């Protein structure tokens, strides 16, 4: 990149408005790439172009950007602050359940993956492979972990000895790599951050219970109570389950465009891996037995879910419990010492909240409102000269846009009320949207039609992998889950696609998906 290009590039950017800057980047003559910088661009309306809206929300809130390394993302400070909140809460929930953290190598010998046949088949197309290290070609290539079952269970085979060691549960916060040809920020990136938990149990039944416990007591609770994102829980089909799992359970949530997002999974691995990695224990009866395992994870994809569940045409909307900044204070006149003093006293009053005061003197109040609105700050406090005469301020709530005058003495109470109401309103709105778009169908015509309209489509299905592939080819949709809480229906049921009699009493949920 020539120096002149750099100067041009920067000077073209219009700090106030909607210009799109074309960026041209040459990496040592090897690659030529053109990217649009969308920062500070206006936000496309959801109804016009949902995919562009999503990108615009991210760019305007300054959450993340595509990296020059294809498929990878850069998580910018404000986006990372949301991830830190997610990590802190999930980590403490897991620790309360007795889960301990550990750290395993990022590299996995290729041969390790190959020990579990379905596992290697599932992950092979997505691998990044290190062939050279320390200036030499490696004897055996190393794979950058796409997930860590194999490298972790090799350790388990040495660590777990007797029934006294069970259940054995660890978790790892780490980066993983799954090569992605069509990256989308937070949703699909070649590198992403996640937690992956792994447990070992004495029986299949205990593994099943633990996989469900994590799903219900950690993932569902976190999605509902913190993300304000209603999720369905259910079991994945044979075709959609984790490569190497006995059963995969999931939480799935409906996004505003009617597509489903798989937000977290928990797998009962049975003894599939323990047989391959010789993870066994000496039981109380003196017998050596294979252990039964689970693994479960959520990732930076949750941020994508958060964005698409709550945000609107003005930009990001964050549930108060995950907002890095819950309240922003904007004195209308930053040169007015009295207003600054009021701002300081409000900050003190709001000690239990995360608060920022915007004292920048080179932006007009309206520009500041616009900026913080796009960042999804739940409550804005405006301190104007007239308000101050009445010992009051103006509170503006992000999701509804509602403005109210509030006596300075009442601020902590009102802020608390607004944040609580916003947290529950966001959940209620998302739940209502999902419920209203749910459809129950029994004919192929209705099924196709319903899928096009968006939302979950509940129908009877045979569960066969080949039938699912056929449905996908015809509709782009796959089964999302067999819902746990669905009621069983009496009588015989025929598959919506192939017409075969199904073995299930419950309907499956189908949807277009991320």
Question: Site for a second copy (CB under 8 A): which residue of 98, 125, 366, 491?
Answer: 125
If one asks whether residue 154 binds a second copy (CB under 8 A), the answer comes out as yes
Specify the stretch interacting with a second copy by CB under 8 A; choose among 20-28, 250-258, 303-311, 463-471: 20-28
Collapsing DSSP states into helix, strand and coil, what is residue 336? coil
Question: Site for a second copy (CB under 8 A): which residue of 157, 354, 410, 437?
Answer: 157
Contact 154, 147 (CB under 8 A): no
Residues 265 to 324 in contact with a second copy, rule: CB under 8 A: 278, 280, 282, 288
Question: Site for a second copy (CB under 8 A): which residue of 47, 98, 134, 491?
Answer: 134
If one asks whether residue 161 binds a second copy (CB under 8 A), the answer comes out as yes
**Closest CB to a second copy among residues 141, 365:** 141
Specify the stretch interacting with a second copy by CB under 8 A; choose among 179-187, 236-244, 379-387, 451-459: 179-187
Question: Site for a second copy (CB under 8 A): which residue of 20, 37, 239, 425?
Answer: 37
- How many CA atoms, within 13 angstroms, populate the side-chain half-sphere of residue 51? 3
Contact 267, 349 (CB under 8 A): no
Contacts of 199 (CB under 8 A, 6+ apart): 167, 168, 169, 170, 207, 210, 293, 294, 295
Question: Site for a second copy (CB under 8 A): which residue of 17, 98, 135, 286?
Answer: 135
Question: Which among 442, 207, 411, 453 is positioned nearest to 326, based on CA atoms?
Answer: 411
Interatomic CA distance for residues 146 and 124, integer angstroms: 9
In the complex, minimum distance from the CB of residue 397 to a second copy, in angstroms, rounded to a whole number: 26
Residue 117: Cβ within 10 Å count? 13
**Closest CB to a second copy among residues 9, 414:** 9
Element of type H or E holding 475: helix 465-475
Residues 363 to 402 in contact with a second copy, rule: CB under 8 A: none
Give the binding-site size for a second copy (rule: CB under 8 A). Answer: 83
Question: Which among 198, 218, 220 is positioned nearest to 269, based on CA atoms?
Answer: 198
If one asks whether residue 407 binds a second copy (CB under 8 A), the answer comes out as no
Question: Which among 124, 99, 122, 91 is positioned nearest to 110, based on CA atoms?
Answer: 124
In the complex, minimum distance from the CB of residue 159 to a second copy, in angstroms, rounded to a whole number: 8
Contact 209, 177 (CB under 8 A): no
In the complex, minimum distance from the CB of residue 77 to a second copy, in angstroms, rounded to a whole number: 4
**Closest CB to a second copy among residues 82, 379:** 82
Contact 323, 303 (CB under 8 A): no
Q: What angle do CA 10, 13, 19 make, to 5 degrees?
A: 150
Q: What is the SS3 string spanning 231-298?
A: CEEEECCCCCCCCCCCEEEEEEEECCCCCEEEEEEEEEEECHHHHHHCCEEECCCCCEEECEEEEEEE
**Closest CB to a second copy among residues 280, 479:** 280
In the complex, minimum distance from the CB of residue 109 to a second copy, in angstroms, rounded to a whole number: 5
Interatomic CA distance for residues 174 and 193, integer angstroms: 6
Specify the stretch interacting with a second copy by CB under 8 A; choose among 2-10, 199-207, 261-269, 308-316: 2-10
Q: Is 4 exposed, middle or buried (0-12, 13-18, 19+ CB in 10 A)?
A: exposed
Contact 418, 473 (CB under 8 A): no
Question: Site for a second copy (CB under 8 A): which residue of 58, 61, 82, 127?
Answer: 127
**Closest CB to a second copy among residues 31, 364:** 31
Collapsing DSSP states into helix, strand and coil, what is residue 28? coil
**Closest CB to a second copy among residues 75, 215:** 75
In the complex, minimum distance from the CB of residue 273 to a second copy, in angstroms, rounded to a whole number: 13
**Closest CB to a second copy among residues 28, 34:** 28
If one asks whether residue 117 binds a second copy (CB under 8 A), the answer comes out as no
Angle between helices 77-96 and 50-61 (to 10 degrees): 90
In the complex, minimum distance from the CB of residue 39 to a second copy, in angstroms, rounded to a whole number: 9
Residues 77 to 116 in contact with a second copy, rule: CB under 8 A: 77, 80-81, 83-84, 100-109, 111-112, 114-115
In the complex, minimum distance from the CB of residue 362 to a second copy, in angstroms, rounded to a whole number: 7
**Closest CB to a second copy among residues 157, 438:** 157
Collapsing DSSP states into helix, strand and coil, what is residue 304? helix
Specify the stretch interacting with a second copy by CB under 8 A; choose among 135-143, 246-254, 327-335, 432-440: 135-143
Element of type H or E holding 482: strand 478-483
Interatomic CA distance for residues 277 and 273, integer angstroms: 6
**Closest CB to a second copy among residues 80, 461:** 80
Residues 324 to 363 in contact with a second copy, rule: CB under 8 A: 362
**Closest CB to a second copy among residues 31, 474:** 31
If one asks whether residue 124 binds a second copy (CB under 8 A), the answer comes out as yes
Contact 279, 273 (CB under 8 A): yes
Sign of the CA dihedral running 463, 466, 471, 477: positive
The contact pattern for a second copy, residues 56-75, with x = CB under 8 A and - = no contact, is: ---------x-xxx--xxxx
Residues 180 to 199 in contact with a second copy, rule: CB under 8 A: 180-181, 190-191, 193
The CA R_g of the chain, rounded to the nearest whole Å, is 26
**Closest CB to a second copy among residues 262, 280:** 280
């Amino acid at each position: 990149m020539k120096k002149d290009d750099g100067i041009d590039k920067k000077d073209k950017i219009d700090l106030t408005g909607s210009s799109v800057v074309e960026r041209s980047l040459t990496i040592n003559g090897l690659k030529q790439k053109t990217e649009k910088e969308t920062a500070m661009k206006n936000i496309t309306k959801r109804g016009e172009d949902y995919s562009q809206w999503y990108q615009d929300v991210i760019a305007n809130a300054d959450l993340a950007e595509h990296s020059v390394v294809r498929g990878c993302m850069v998580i910018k400070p404000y986006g990372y602050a949301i991830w830190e909140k997610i990590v802190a809460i999930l980590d403490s929930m897991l620790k309360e359940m007795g889960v301990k953290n550990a750290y395993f190598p990022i590299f996995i010998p290729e041969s390790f993956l190959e020990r579990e046949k379905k596992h290697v088949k599932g992950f092979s197309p997505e691998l990044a492979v290190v062939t050279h290290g320390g200036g030499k070609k490696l004897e055996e290539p190393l794979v950058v972990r796409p997930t860590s079952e194999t490298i972790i269970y090799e350790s388990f085979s040495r660590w777990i000895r007797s029934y006294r060691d069970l259940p054995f549960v660890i978790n790892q916060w780490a980066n993983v790599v799954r090569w992605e040809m069509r990256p989308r920020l937070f949703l699909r990136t070649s590198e992403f951050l996640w937690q992956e938990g792994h447990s070992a149990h004495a029986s299949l039944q205990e593994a099943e219970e633990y996989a469900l416990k994590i799903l219900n007591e950690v993932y569902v609770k976190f999605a509902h109570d913190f993300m304000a994102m209603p999720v369905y829980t259910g079991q994945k089909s044979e075709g959609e389950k984790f490569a190497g799992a006995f059963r995969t359970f999931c939480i799935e949530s409906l996004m505003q465009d009617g597509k489903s997002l798989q937000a977290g999974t928990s797998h009962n691995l049975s003894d599939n891996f323990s047989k391959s990695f010789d993870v066994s224990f000496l039981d109380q009866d003196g017998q050596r037995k294979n252990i039964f395992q689970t693994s479960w994870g959520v990732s930076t994809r949750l941020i994508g879910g958060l964005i698409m569940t709550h945000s609107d045409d003005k930009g990001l909307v964050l549930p108060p419990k995950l907002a890095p900044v819950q309240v922003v204070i904007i004195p209308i006149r930053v040169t007015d010492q009295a207003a600054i003093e009021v701002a300081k006293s409000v900050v003190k009053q709001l000690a239990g909240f995360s608060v920022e005061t915007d004292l920048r003197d080179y932006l007009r109040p309206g520009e500041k409102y616009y900026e913080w609105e796009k960042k999804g700050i739940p409550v804005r406090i405006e301190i104007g000269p007239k308000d101050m005469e009445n010992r009051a301020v103006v509170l503006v709530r992000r999701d509804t846009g509602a403005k109210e005058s509030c006596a300075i003495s009442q601020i902590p109470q009102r802020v608390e009320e607004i944040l609580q109401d916003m947290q529950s309103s966001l959940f209620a709105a998302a739940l209502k949207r999902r419920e209203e778009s749910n459809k129950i169908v029994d004919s192929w015509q209705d099924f196709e039609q319903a899928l096009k309209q968006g939302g979950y489509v509940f129908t009877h299905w045979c569960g066969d992998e080949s039938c699912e592939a056929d449905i996908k080819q015809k509709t782009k949709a796959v089964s999302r889950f067999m819902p746990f809480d669905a009621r069983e229906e009496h009588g015989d049921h025929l598959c919506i696609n192939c017409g075969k009699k199904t073995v299930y009493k419950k309907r499956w949920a189908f949807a277009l998906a991320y």
